[in-house]
Chains A and B, each alone.
Chain A
């Protein structure tokens, strides 16, 4: 079985990468999970996952005659992690449509694929993970611009045949009146509120330590919220072979 989720927000700074890894680790308690840094222009998952020094990344895979996907898969924290390099020349050389084949290959051998997506909707490569995924997890802060961009992500997803798995409210402070805001927001999102993750210094601490939150502070309130979100996701059964085929024949043409 396999289901691919894009973790997306449309806006920077909402904590997508932290959320991707945290959801991944929480889901890994029940599933075989692969996390891919699909934000190829502004990759940062490698720093969060303690993979800053690795030699082969997604950039090396998605170039003409590149490395096999397996060379960029690292087993960390109970997950298979595919980091992406931060070198801009690597990004320039990358062919984003090859991401489709990467996801197809990974899908053959995992239960859940999480695609950490770009914080923008302005380019083809940024939107591609949303196109490839079965469902999108929309990460928002309880602010007007973040909610507005979250809604745009959902519209893009819907337009490209991708469903909304739910909304994750991140960096929520005590005084954000989230108990009033979340139900109002839910009226516009196709999926439920997966969890509200409190703002905390622990998250920054984890990032500085180069560790995923659930490894750094597994009992923190934020970590608990992510586990709750993972439980709400109810991963769907899919036939790996069929999913892999679907990715291979995805709607993206070979050339730009």
Chain B
């Protein structure tokens, strides 16, 4: 997926992808976010996630490491924070070519629901989405709920990623056991 460079509006390390979605929605951002996992354990899980926005509403998702687009790309991105986040503004016209690629598109509320697990943010995002976006997904037979569920399934199918999450938690638990005086 090729995107023209945009104007950097924000760059920081975040722990929760929800931050990106709230920020983009509040700014009514047209542009894109690049999310690069920072965790050393997951560095072999190379690549970054890209989510584009129109007026703050997510349009397409893509993962450069797995080369997957749409809901599976959200699964690739999930749960591997903290991330280095870069948020770019870009003219809508420059996003058109990317936004035309159906297989990269995600329904408006899906990132909030499945990446952030935040139903009210998803509702707010859908309210902001133009009617054609909502109709669009129904017309193409890509029922939003189905695709959301498929992101969760894609996540659960990724055994390596889940093994990495578990290993990271295990190490954290042992490290903290020392700090907290638990005897493990």
Mark A124-160 against chain B: 1 for CB-CB distance below 8 A, else 0. 1001000100000000011111111001101110111
8 Å CB interface, A71-128 against B? 121, 124, 127
Interface range for A: 35 or more
CA distance A187 to B166 in the complex (A): 13
On whether A143 and B113 interact (CB within 8 A), knowing A158-B170, A251-B182, the answer reads yes
Does residue B41 face the partner (Cβ distance < 8 Å to A)?
no
Mark B165-183 against chain A: 1 for CB-CB distance below 8 A, else 0. 1100110111011011111
Query: In the complex, are the beta carbons of B184 and A161 less than 8 A apart?
Result: yes
In the bound complex, residues from chain A placing their C-beta under 8 Å from that of B173 are: 155-156, 159-160
8 Å CB interface, A169-201 against B? 173, 175-177, 180-181, 184-185, 187-188
Interface-located stretch among B53-61, B83-91, B127-135, B147-155: B147-155
Does residue A11 face the partner (Cβ distance < 8 Å to B)?
yes
In the bound complex, residues from chain B placing their C-beta under 8 Å from that of A188 are: 156, 162, 166
Query: In the complex, are the beta carbons of B170 and A145 less than 8 A apart?
Result: no
In the bound complex, residues from chain B placing their C-beta under 8 Å from that of A173 are: 145
On whether A155 and B177 interact (CB within 8 A), knowing A147-B155, A175-B146, the answer reads no
Residue from B114, B149, B169 having most chain A Cβ neighbours under 10 A: B169
Query: In the complex, are the beta carbons of A181 and B153 less than 8 A apart?
Result: yes
Does residue A206 face the partner (Cβ distance < 8 Å to B)?
no
Does residue A65 face the partner (Cβ distance < 8 Å to B)?
no
In the bound complex, residues from chain A placing their C-beta under 8 Å from that of B151 are: 144
Does residue B22 face the partner (Cβ distance < 8 Å to A)?
no
Does residue A252 face the partner (Cβ distance < 8 Å to B)?
yes
Does residue B73 face the partner (Cβ distance < 8 Å to A)?
no
On whether A11 and B117 interact (CB within 8 A), knowing A148-B78, A151-B165, A251-B183, the answer reads yes
Does residue B79 face the partner (Cβ distance < 8 Å to A)?
yes
In the bound complex, residues from chain B placing their C-beta under 8 Å from that of A256 are: 181
Nearest A residue to B115 via CB reads A144
Partner of A147, one of B113, B148, B156: B156
8 Å CB interface, A4-33 against B? 11, 13
Q: How many pairs, one residue from A and one from B, have CB atoms within 8 Å of each other in the complex?
A: 106
Nearest B residue to A186 via CB reads B156
On whether A176 and B117 interact (CB within 8 A), knowing A151-B165, A161-B184, A251-B183, the answer reads no
Mark B116-131 against chain A: 1 for CB-CB distance below 8 A, else 0. 1100000000000000
In the bound complex, residues from chain B placing their C-beta under 8 Å from that of A160 are: 173, 177, 182, 184
In the bound complex, residues from chain B placing their C-beta under 8 Å from that of A185 are: 156
Residue from B74, B145, B176, B179 having most chain A Cβ neighbours under 10 A: B176
User: 14 extra interchain contacts, Cβ-Cβ under 8 A, other than A124-B180, A145-B117, A253-B181?
Assistant: A124-B179, A124-B181, A148-B79, A151-B162, A154-B166, A155-B166, A155-B169, A156-B173, A159-B174, A181-B149, A181-B153, A184-B157, A185-B156, A251-B182
B-to-A contact residues, CB < 8 Å: 74-75, 78-79, 113-117, 143, 145-146, 148-153, 155-157, 162, 165-166, 169-170, 172-174, 176-177, 179-184
A-to-B contact residues, CB < 8 Å: 11, 13, 121, 124, 127, 131, 141-148, 151-152, 154-156, 158-161, 173, 175-177, 180-181, 184-185, 187-188, 251-253, 256
A–B Cβ pairs within 8 angstroms, 20 of them: A11-B117, A124-B182, A127-B180, A131-B182, A141-B117, A142-B149, A143-B113, A145-B116, A148-B79, A155-B166, A160-B182, A173-B145, A175-B149, A176-B148, A177-B146, A177-B150, A181-B149, A184-B157, A185-B156, A252-B182
> Which 10 A-B residue pairings sit nearest by Cβ, starting from the closest?
A175-B145, A177-B149, A148-B79, A155-B169, A159-B173, A184-B156, A145-B117, A251-B183, A152-B169, A144-B78
